[in-house]
Amino acid sequence: MARTKPVNLSPQEIAFVEGLVIHKDADLLAVNKPAGLSSQGGRIDVNTLDELLAAFAKPSGSRPRLIHRLDRDTSGVLLAARSQPAAAYLGKAMMARRFRKIYWAVVGGGAPSPTEGVIAAALRREDIGRESRVLVASEDHPEAKASQTRYRTLSATSNVALLEMEPRTGRMHQIRVHLAHLGRPILGDARYGGALMADGVPVSRLMLHARSLAFPHPQGGAATSIEAPPPADFMDLVARLGLEAP
């Protein structure tokens, strides 16, 4: 893999990122990213997850390379390649849509109707200064990109629901925008209309978690599946709202 800019990590940072690891082999490294940690390119003066991966750098200085990203406030499984051949293989597999990503989202509005289905709404990106926002677009819009997300209700009350989401395309903010379009914005997602309070319970952040990832392994064989347990604040909110996680 290409050499990267040296990163000096403190012992505390090394221990922190080592504690995030949920899978490691000769080709791969998977972590359960906490909410609030940027995957790459953060604007605040702290190391991103990409930089923290220097804790696993080879003597040559090359460190594992992230194969995909999560929004800063989304928690869950993130995959990195530990070699250039593995990175190339996984990149091609992702482009061929051979990855299956499952997310959990806590939404407002109760269970959608029908309780499971596919959201097919084209999306386009709009940049305003340094900020980016994604909008539902008509299919004939010159910047529209076809987008699909499968959803399934796992648990619901009259006001909130826990949904399982499977994006079939990989657009920026896809799940967040599709759920807002469905009339079920994710709790804590102020950018796309999510409430910051539900049934009298405060919501501190975006309640979206990357629950699992299935993909072909660079060494072949059966598909590899990695699960990331939801963080404590996510599960606490689920319980306080009277929802049940599988």
* Catalytic positions: 71
Dmax (CA) for the chain in angstroms is 56
CA-based nearest residue to 34, from 84, 89, 71, 85: 71
Residue whose structure tokens are 């959803």: 151
Contact partners, residue 173, CB within 8 Å, separation at least 6: 71, 123, 133, 134, 192
- Exposed, middle or buried, 65 (CB in 10 Å: 0-12/13-18/19+)? buried
Q: Rounded CA gap, 57 and 135, in Å?
A: 39
Q: Contact 175/165 with Cβ under 8 angstroms?
A: yes
- 208 bridge partner residues: 105
